[in-house]
Structure 1
Amino acid sequence: MARKPTTTGARRPEFHLPELREFEEAGLEPDGDYDGLVMRGRDFGGQDAPGARFMDCLVQDCAFDEARLQHARLIDTRLSGVRGVGTDLGDASLRDVELLDARMGGVQLHGAVLERVVIRGGKIDYLNLRKARLRDVVFEGAVLVEPDFGGAGLERVEFVDCALKAADFTGVRMKDVDLRRCGELEIARGVDRLSGATISPAQLLDLAPVFAAAIGVRVEG
């Protein structure tokens, strides 16, 4: 008999964008309400729009360098080819969101809530997810350099064909986290917090020195 899977997979976002209107405003505003819009090739760098709400939007090839979007809400929205350094989305809420082929660095998502989110392709350096809550999140084909999950809660999170470099899992709480298909898995801190995660036998061998160091075991020939 085939063994039943012991790790519950993530639910992916399901939404269909309606007919969209072009975004014609000069920029983003605090507590702005953006519904059913397409934003293409815009530079939102340095703009201050905390509390902004994006629903049924397509954001394509836009720049968000140093944009301040704390407490923003993104619902049923696709972001494709976005880029930016130092984008602040602290305490934001993302539900049914696709982030595709992003090129970003130092993105602040600390304290954020991510539910049914797919992050596919691209590269994100120094992603800050400290104390965030991730449920039904899939990282697929992305390169994550020194992501910080410190104190976060991860439930039904999958890493598929990803490069996870120098990840910090300090204080993380995990349930049904699937790391087996992570192409490159490198854990800098918090290897002792992998309870609730599933790894492959090959990954276990690769992580053996890290596990040994975490519990104070010397391995000598």
Structure 2
Amino acid sequence: MAGPAVVDPERAAMPAVPNVPEELAQLPYAHLLQPHSGPLRADQRYDTVHFDGTEHGGAAGGAGFLECAFTGVHFDGAGLRRASFNEAWVHGSRLVATDLAESEWQDSAVLGSVLAGIAWYGCALRRVVLRQCKLESVNLRGATLRDVVFEDCLLRDVDFGEARMTEVAFPGSTLEEVRLGGAKLSKVDLRGAVRLGLADGHLGLRGAVISTHQLFELAPQFAQALGIVVKDG
């Protein structure tokens, strides 16, 4: 079975980074947004709602967010299991110890935000951009990621175990103690990563594209994973 493809980054073009609005006013639905107040409610549908500087810690499982914007929002211990985010825009927000398991994200962006201690396993991310975000102790086991970009992000202790990742890229991102055990990768481009630090799952890189430099850096871990003893003399 083929391993990760090794490509000279100077000879192969990096995947294009999607154009994502950086300011609230740039959103195509900005003029439709209505301010929100009060707690989130389970199974509630929110359409063109602006959550600004609010704090949420309650249970709102199954809630749906369509063309919603979140600016400076703090989710602390919130329960958003099986929630759906369609064309959502999250900026400068904090998500701490929040349950996003089995949630669905499509055509959405998360910018300049912190995600720490997040249960995000079993989720589905499609056409999602995370830019200048810090992800720490995030559980993405069994998740499905398609057309996802982690741009200029820090991923520390992020678990992609058993995840299915297709056309995922990490331009400018730093990966530390990332887990890929049992992951299924297809057209995953890691060449743009500033650092590629894996805690385990080196054989899970099968189906990824890495650079020659990254291959040399990972060589000791590949040898260990394959049970190869490297000894000189």
Whether these two folds match at TM > 0.5 is yes
Q: For this pair of structures, how many residues does the alignment match?
A: 217
- Verify: 1:193 aligned to 2:226, yes or no: no
Cα RMSD of the aligned pairs, angstroms, is 1.9
Q: Which residue of 2 aligns with 1:31?
A: 43
- Verify: 1:69 aligned to 2:80, yes or no: yes
Partner AA of 1:30 in structure 2? A
Sequence identity of aligned pairs in percent? 35
Give the 3 Å change call, closer, same or farther, for CA 21–6 of structure 1 in structure 2: closer
Partner AA of 1:213 in structure 2? Q
- Verify: 1:95 aligned to 2:106, yes or no: yes
Deviation at 1:217, TM superposition (A): 1.2
* CA deviation map 1:101-140 (0-9, x unaligned): 1112111110000000000002110111100000000000
CA contact 2:179–2:199 (8 Å) conserved in 1: yes
CA contact 1:10–1:137 (8 Å) conserved in 2: no
Deviation at 1:38, TM superposition (A): 1.1
Take 2:189 and 2:58, find their aligned partners in 1: how far apart are those partners? 36
Deviation at 1:6, TM superposition (A): 9.2
Give the 3 Å change call, closer, same or farther, for CA 158–217 of structure 1 in structure 2: same
Residue 172 (structure 2) aligned to one of 146, 157, 161 = 161
Take 2:129 and 2:48, find their aligned partners in 1: how far apart are those partners? 20
Take 1:207 and 1:191, find their aligned partners in 2: how far apart are those partners? 8
Q: Which residue of 1 aligns with 2:217?
A: 206
Tell me, which stretches of 5 or more residues in structure 1 are unaligned? none
Take 2:154 and 2:196, find their aligned partners in 1: how far apart are those partners? 11
Partner AA of 2:32 in structure 1? L
Residue 155 (structure 2) aligned to one of 125, 144, 150 = 144
Tell me, which stretches of 5 or more residues in structure 2 are unaligned? 1-9, 21-26
SS at structure 2 position matched to 1:87: coil
Deviation at 1:23, TM superposition (A): 2.7
Deviation at 1:16, TM superposition (A): 2.6
Take 1:11 and 1:91, find their aligned partners in 2: how far apart are those partners? 26
SS at structure 2 position matched to 1:147: strand
Take 1:89 and 1:139, find their aligned partners in 2: how far apart are those partners? 18
Q: Which residue of 2 aligns with 1:132?
A: 143
